[in-house]
Amino acid sequence: MTVEDSADKGTILIVDDTPSNLEVLFEFLTNAGFKVLVAIDGESAIQKVEYVCPDVILLDVIMPGIDGFETCRRLKNNPSTQDIPVIFMTALAQTSVVVKGFELGAVDYITKPTQQEIVLARVTTHLTIQKLRHSLQIQNLQLQKEIQHRQKAEAALQKANQQLKRLATIDGLTQIANRRRFDDYLAQSWRLSMREKWPLSLLLCDVDFFKLYNDTKGHQGGDECLYQVAQSLSRVVKRPADLVARYGGEEFAVILPNTPAEGALQVAQFIRLSIRELAIVHPQSPISQYVTLSLGVATIVPCLDSSPELLITAADQALYQAKKLGRDRAVFTPL
């Protein structure tokens, strides 16, 4: 049998101060296919284990210097050696001796004089248990890694889904809410306002003479203008419950839950002034040298006899009036 075969079957450390016992066990276990190490006392055994980690230790109880009990205690107190199975060999048959060995962490004991068949059976059993334990530890580690990998994958998937959900509700050009998000949020705000009996306000905004601006500046210039207008609206409308959305083309919408008419009209005026302060030059505007905004404002306390479409229609009519009256203004239409 080769050295590699012996190492594969297992490594055994025999600790005994009697040379004849060491010789017999060494020869027997070596012939049985194990790699065998020997130590004549507890101190040398502890030192040897630090360098070569055996699979099983056969440990004599009665030895000079530190006895087998103390040797076992030190081995079990050391994290690097505490999992090595220790089998006591002793001629002491008292129950108290056996119990003390188990209390110190031994897995088994063999009475002296030892019988080879019993030694082989005990060693083989605990080597099998040890290999199964190692196998389970490896499987547990692999399982933990798989769980961590799955958790990371699930977290990444959740993040990707959130990103997709966000992208599905964001207007790509202006980076504010899109029409789909507007429709969903208006329905949600309507239900909440009806339940709480809150006033719900809606602003519809239109960039004045945007077609002329687009014709003069080109589509790239027009896109940049819409982006700046959208960002200006977002800066003015700051409450978490409010929503700024691109309604379509050069039109924007602002949903203001729990906001009365006076407050909504004030927000509309702030928005209109913020657009003027952008000072985006509009060479073809008949009313101003800069880009301006017209706004329609409507407010309602939702009830069973009304609908979100009624609020949209009112805001749209107010926007029409703002344009008819000369643009660059906010007009409120009562319901």
Contact between 70 and 90 under an 8 Å Cβ cutoff? The reply is no
Question: Distance between CA 123 and CA 29 in Å, rounded?
Answer: 10
Helix (H) or strand (E) holding 126: helix 116-169
Q: Are 295 and 203 in contact (CB under 8 A)?
A: yes
DSSP 114: P
- DSSP for 144-174, please give it: HHHHHHHHHHHHHHHHHHHHHHHHHHB-TTT
Q: Are 299 and 335 in contact (CB under 8 A)?
A: yes
Amino acid letter at 142?
Q
Task: Judge contact between 24 and 14, C-beta under 8 A.
Answer: no
Estimate to the nearest angstrom the gap between the alpha carbon of 37 and the chain centroid: 49
Tokens of 157: 């998937």
Q: How many CA atoms lie within 13 A of 20 on its CB side?
A: 3
Among the options 250, 251, 262, 277, which is catalytic? 250
Q: Which tokens belong to 121?
A: 């059976």
In 3D space, the residue among 297, 278, 299 whose CA is nearest the CA of residue 289 turns out to be: 278
d(CA 288, CA 331): 19
Does the active-site annotation cover 250? yes
Query: Nearest-CA neighbor of 52 among 7, 101, 22?
Result: 7
Instruction: Give catalytic residue positions.
Output: 250
